[in-house]
Amino acid sequence: MSGPLLLAVESSCDETGIALVEGGRRIHSNVVASQVALHAATGGIVPEVAARAHLRWIVPVLDAALEDAAADWRDIDAVAVTYGPGLAGSLLVGVNFAKALAHVHAKPLIGVNHLEGHVEAGWLLDPGEDVAARPEPAFPVVALVVSGGHTFLVEMRDHGDFRLLGQTVDDAAGEAFDKVGRLLGLGYPGGPAIQRAAEAAVARDVIFPRAWLGESYDFSFSGLKTAARRIVAAARTEAGLAADDAETSLPEATVAELAYGFQAAVVDVLATKTLRAARETGARAIVVGGGVAANTVLRERIQADAAAVGLPVVVPRPGLCTDNGAMIGAAGARRFAAGERAGLDLDARPSLPLAGR
Ligand code: KG4
Ligand code: ZN
């Protein structure tokens, strides 16, 4: 493996990530400081708290990323940074930091779209991982990105060449996991907590609704959230609990059954639409990314459905699905190779669309 070595900075939401990535694929180091414990106390992300945590951690994360890769600035060809979409205050920390690094070390600067990073994570290789064991996904690819803020399906004819097939018309899949996790008293973030609770489900009888939206590739999860609220209220009444008493929680077995039913509905819709999109667009591979792609049931379901029709699927290991710097290094390398350079006037773009300029 060879190619330029990029130092990549990610701080769009609640993870401070810095990575060194060679040739858009090979990870040399990938350090992430997670704020999950910090935001668990408030049951969700408080943007100003997130921005301050990035400010606190970004220098130690840089030092660790350079040390892990045993690299110094002479080895680095460019600095890549997420400039959107995301929380304005969080993005500003990373963008300003990357600009200062590029300026001081006289390296080119590359602005990277966070969503493109989630897709390009499908091309990453861990240090020492055999290239032959992980072939590159063949184009055209259908990519499903499912995160806390976004849920969409794209057709990708080449790196950087995206056609939006469908997206959520209301909540993102991760957002639905987080909201229903809160409803079930499972805390923040809801995704991993629901997955864990569902694993313990013995009864699996509660069926949550699926929003198919006809033949479209769009998604909707707000009805599921409303159904969850109704089902939780009914279960509380049945268990003899007051409707709105935060101190009393549902029996563990009920929480497990509801977590199972909710997760099954989300996974069913995501997997079914992804497979149909791949079939109808003639895709040669499926790539899945974003925090919700860390979900074991979703990973296994898409892999099984795709295997049944002979389609290869790439789902990065969970640590590369949730926000990290390496995915920004992967996407940044494609932009770097295409000759794209950002000026020192690069600004944060909280609502940047996929592959937007
Ligand atoms: O991509 P990500 O790290 O950050 C954003 O860009 O939003 O995604 C975070 C989301 C959260 O909503 C979290 O609950 C969800 O990913 N998530 C999961 C799992 N791990 C993280 N959802 C379901 N199952 C999981 N195992
Ligand atoms: Zn993300």
**CA atoms of 9 and 333, how far apart (whole Å):** 13
Q: Could you tell me the two tokens for 355?
A: 């592959």
Atom of ligand 1 nearest to the CA of 296: 26
Nearest residue (by CA) to ligand 1, atom 14, is 191
The class (CATH top level) of 5-126+319-337 is alpha beta
Instruction: Give the residue extent of every domain in the chain.
Output: 5-126+319-337, 141-316
Rounded average pLDDT over 113-139: 95
Rounded average pLDDT over 248-273: 96
Q: Residue 1's pLDDT band (boundaries 50, 70, 90)?
A: low
Ligand 2 mean position, distance from CA 290 (Å): 5
Ligand 1 mean position, distance from CA 149 (Å): 9
Ligand 2 mean position, distance from CA 214 (Å): 28
Residues with a beta carbon under 5 angstroms from ion ligand 2: 147, 323
Q: Give tens-digit pLDDT for 59-80.
A: 999 999 999 999 999 999 999 9
Same fold, 5-126+319-337 and 141-316: yes
Q: Give tens-digit pLDDT for 292-335.
A: 999 999 999 999 999 999 999 999 999 999 999 999 999 999 99
**3-state DSSP of 124-192:** CECCCCCHHHCCCCCCCEEEEEECCCCEEEEEEEECCEEEEEEEECCCCHHHHHHHHHHHCCCCCCHHH
Ligand 1 mean position, distance from CA 81 (Å): 21
**CA atoms of 3 and 77, how far apart (whole Å):** 9
Nearest residue (by CA) to ligand 1, atom 7, is 148
Domain 141-316 has CATH 3.30.420.40: yes
Which residues surround ligand 1 with Cβ inside 6 Å? 13, 147-149, 174, 177-178, 189-192, 195, 290-292, 294-295, 322-323
